[in-house]
Structure 1
Amino acid sequence: MHPFQSDRYYIPNRGGCLYHVRQCLQSALQLRELLQRDMAGSSKTIGCIGKCTSGLSLKELDWITDNIQRTLADEQGRKIFRKYLSRGRRKTDLACLDLYEQVAEYIDNECIHRLSTKSPSVEPLLADFNLALSAAKDLDDVSEIDLTLLERYVQAADSRSRESMLDVLEETRFKMMNHLRQAHKGFQAYAKMPCPQSK
């Protein structure tokens, strides 16, 4: 019998190709089993996130969930993403999504205020800016909200500069988006799965 035809007569050479092929196959099978168990567990834990009642087609859902920028830029995308985070009890990620939406609203409000007012006051923006600072301070366990960013908040508020405050709000929005990238990977995979309520 050829030695490769039976493990009984085969002593693996750790430098040989056959040994590495077998190791790769075993690792791949183990990884597949772990992923299947993990996804099955996620379905039971998270449950329905409302994607099938959102009014979105499968093509639209796939486009919106393709990356974090598209998800956060779309109202329905944020709604489904929020449901995913809530079902998964991801409190810190939910707080980051709250702050993202909060500063985005403040930026939009300022744009509308400037366009609709001949001599716009900085006071409405300053009030919103201080609310954003207060919310950011509460996220002390989020690495993106560091001392440097908080100092920029204080400096911009003290200067009462509209441009400086908007810059800090934009930076905050960007940092919150970056923080949510990891959670979005799981959301993206989960959104492609059949709805648990349809099983």
Structure 2
Amino acid sequence: MISQMKAKDNPETGEPMSPIDYFESHHLKSTGWRNEYTQEKHAEMVTSRAEVLTQTQARTQSELGDTASSAESVVGPEQVDEFQIMSQALGTRSRWQKVFGALPRLKSVGGSRAASTGQVAETIATLKQQLAEKDAEHARRINETQRQMAEKEAENQRRLEETQRQLNAQNRMLQTLIAKLGIEMPPP
């Protein structure tokens, strides 16, 4: 936009066209405004510029009355920031910087690019498959561990029953010997 504004410099003064005037020249055609929106926004910008100029002039007049030689009377009045007025009227855009215009997109300067939807879907499917395989392996290990624990429990139960039978057999033999020898045992 700046380069286009410079191309339309005022031939008499050599100053570049103001941003608001450039907006008007760009959107106002011989048949009228391009649309109502541009007409409304231009009117809003012109009104804001007029208000700022009026406020600046009033401030300058009051300061001139207070001091005979102020810096503004020597240098001139404050400049109106028309880019600020345009930003207030039109809003701001992403990737846009005053003076530089549109900034390059990330992918056009070699930045990291987003993966395509197909690649993302493929990655998700692969990860789901890997997760399912790991879940199946985990479930298999749990089942194997539970089976081994059940076998050990059964083996321990069998040993306990065998030990109990042996103790019962030894107890019967002991009772038989005691009876044959005629030893009296106190009751338990």
- Band the TM-score falls in, shorter-chain normalisation: under 0.3
TM-score (norm 1): 0.25
Question: 1 or 2, which has the higher strand percentage?
Answer: 2
Larger Rg: 2
Q: Which has the higher contact order (CA 8 A, sep 6+)?
A: 1
TM-score (norm 2): 0.26
Question: 1 or 2, which has the higher helix percentage?
Answer: 1
